[in-house]
Chains A and B, each alone.
Chain A
């Protein structure tokens, strides 16, 4: 360090030193980092348990230095339910992509929310199946081209993209629902505050916490990371508005 200077930002100690396998510029890495910053700041590393999905973030346990459990495709909500019920003093979260949470795992997700299971869903929505090569997901935007919707998603035959946050918000079991993004520094800082709020609500044991992240997939969208952030602003956020949809006392 140069003389007369001090460190004001560095990688949180709750992230491992393993090199992440994500493509350059993928928001997964940003979300891993800020969530682990919250875990570090709240001093809950020893009592946090995460559940990984199937999808690009299948190896999240290699990066987040907390206890983690891998779940079968789409079943993270069921596994997180079991962990939280057996170990109620732990802070439990699932980390799932849209192929996992909003396609094969829709039933588990909705029922866990409806039962009001006291854990945090971190839902990374990039509107595509990134890991398997860019196929259409339930969350793919209308008109968006993917390898399985080469002419663009057609609303008539394929339905419109699922708005998961709007779907879970009215459920009695849900205590907190919000949608954030990682497309610019202001939104990343906001997302971090929302993760913290969600975990504080978990400590109050009053219902499920659901945080959707409007994410990117430069590889699947076939653009540069910087272009993908512009695309989020122009295409994703107009359909998936950001904000807090539900919070206790409001």
Chain B
């Protein structure tokens, strides 16, 4: 079944603070441990995209507004 939602994260403005990861109820986000962005941060990415429920928690908590949330049309 396709995911209820997904997020897009602007890699080069993410500061890797991890608040999205900590507040995602389905643990579908993680910080990229083996890569960094132009500022040297381990940016956030969808490590388990099928689990996203489009709750928006990650984007609500993002201090740098780098997350856009998409929801499956009903």
A residues with a Cβ closer than 8 A to B are 1-2, 4-12, 15, 19-20, 22-30, 33, 184-185, 188-189, 218, 224-226, 229
Contacts and interface: CB of A to CB of B under 8 A. Distances in A.
A7 B5 CA distance: 10
A25 B68 CA distance: 17
A19 B71 contact: no
Interface in B13-43: 13, 15-19, 22-23, 41
Given A25-B15, A224-B18, A225-B19, A7 B60 contact: no
A24 B71 contact: no
Contacts of B60: 9, 30, 185, 188-189
Contacts of B61: 30, 184-185, 188
A8 B70 contact: yes
Given A11-B65, A29-B63, 17 more contacts: A1-B70, A5-B5, A7-B68, A8-B5, A8-B54, A8-B56, A9-B60, A19-B13, A25-B15, A25-B17, A25-B18, A28-B63, A30-B60, A33-B62, A33-B65, A224-B18, A229-B22
B70 A24 contact: no
Contacts of A27: 63
Interface residues of B, number: 30
Contacts of B69: 7-10
A26 to B, nearest CB: 6
Contacts of A4: 2, 72-73
Nearest to A226: B22
A27 B68 CA distance: 19
Contacts of A7: 68-70
A2 B2 CA distance: 11
A25 B63 contact: yes
Interface string B1-16: 0100110000001011
B50 interface: no
A222 B69 CA distance: 31
Contact of A20 (B59, B64, B71): B64
Contacts of B72: 4-5
13 contacts: A2-B6, A4-B2, A7-B69, A7-B70, A8-B56, A9-B59, A9-B69, A10-B59, A24-B63, A29-B62, A29-B65, A33-B65, A229-B19
A184 B23 contact: yes
B55 to A, nearest CB: 8
A140 B22 CA distance: 26
A25 B41 CA distance: 12
